[in-house]
Amino acid sequence: MRFLVTGAAGFLGSHLTDRLIGEGHTVLGLDNLITGRRENLAHLGDEPRFRLLECDVSEHIEVEGGLDGIFHLASPASPVDYLRFPIETLRAGALGTHNTLGLAKACGARLLLASTSEVYGDPLVHPQPESYRGNVSSVGPRSVYDEAKRFAEAITMAYHRAHGVDTRIVRIFNTYGPRMRPDDGRVVSNFIVQALRGVPLTIYGDGSQSRSFCYVSDLVEGIWRLFNAEVHAPVNVGNPREFTIRDLADLVLAATGSDSPLETRALPTDDPRVRRPDISLASAALGWEPRVPLEVGLRRTVEYFEALPGLPGRSRATPE
């Protein structure tokens, strides 16, 4: 089959592209490269079944030839990025989703929207099932991402109901792994980079807030299964194993062999206190559950960061 992947040069988009190529399909990648990186796709430079178009999904999209499926992943996705690019984030969620849905309608293609656990905001229900409608500020600094994704879900369902477009919606929880940017501001990459540099690990608030971390290969497996399933309503895909931020800091220090201290700072506005997916639907409808433990995934991610130019590798024994 022939697929379009928007945001293909990003952390998640590049891994999904690899999976599609590995399944024998042809992929047309689309990215404006404001947060994506060509290096993430450099290994596909001689791959005849892949091509990257540098363009903005919120502008008019023209694709020659037919498409069987569209994966709409394009958007700044970390707080550092969507606070730096607030308008671009809203445009990707609103205009970008509108454009890709229009393309799917014209091509008769199936479309999968990458939504987010951020649609639940600072949740009052824990863990979060898909039926929970969220506790989201529409005017806070994080709203540019939260509301962009909530609108994206709404217009995706509208196109499905009004035009019969074959759609899927995945709500992605915290994901980590190789190809994260060192400066993307996500807690896993922040901690690993700080530990490798021997500087204090920055903890916002008292570190008791919790997250659930899903390794990227597990997430891609869930996305691929959802694309091939007959489920039109949103589906949570994430790891239900919950850790406090202080727990994560301890695991990163162990994985890197670092003796960096911890440093606390004020909690950002609207930062969620808890976040853990209820994956009952994914388990029942997709036969999916995560397989990579956080300790194993962190080790793989640390090895990736250690090999990056400009980041000091640490002389240490690899933990068993």
Per-residue DSSP letters for 116-159? EGGGGBS-SSSSB-TT---B--SSSTTHHHHHHHHHHHHHHHHH
Flag residues of the chain having pLDDT under 70. Answer: 312-320
Q: How far is CA 94 from CA 74, 113, 142, 168, 205, in A?
A: 11, 12, 16, 17, 32
CATH 3.40.50.720 positions along the chain are 2-175+215-237
What pLDDT is stored for residue 271 in this prediction? 86
CATH 3.90.25.10 positions along the chain are 177-211+240-275+292-306
Task: Tell me the per-residue pLDDT of 38-82, one tens digit each, with 9 for 90 and over.
Answer: 999 999 999 999 999 999 999 998 898 999 999 999 999 999 999
CATH for 2-175+215-237?
3.40.50.720
Q: Is there a catalytic annotation at residue 145?
A: yes
CATH for 177-211+240-275+292-306?
3.90.25.10
Catalytic residue among 82, 145, 159, 176: 145
- On whether the pTM is more than 0.85, the answer is yes
What pLDDT is stored for residue 320 in this prediction? 29
Beta bridge partners of 170: 114, 235
What DSSP string describes 168-231? EEEEE--EE-TT--TTS--HHHHHHHHHHHT-PEEEETTS--EEE-EEHHHHHHHHHHHHTSS-
What pLDDT is stored for residue 313 in this prediction? 58
What pLDDT is stored for residue 269 in this prediction? 84
What pLDDT is stored for residue 19 in this prediction? 98
What pLDDT is stored for residue 41 in this prediction? 98
* Residues 314, 315, 316, 318, Cα dihedral to 10°: 80
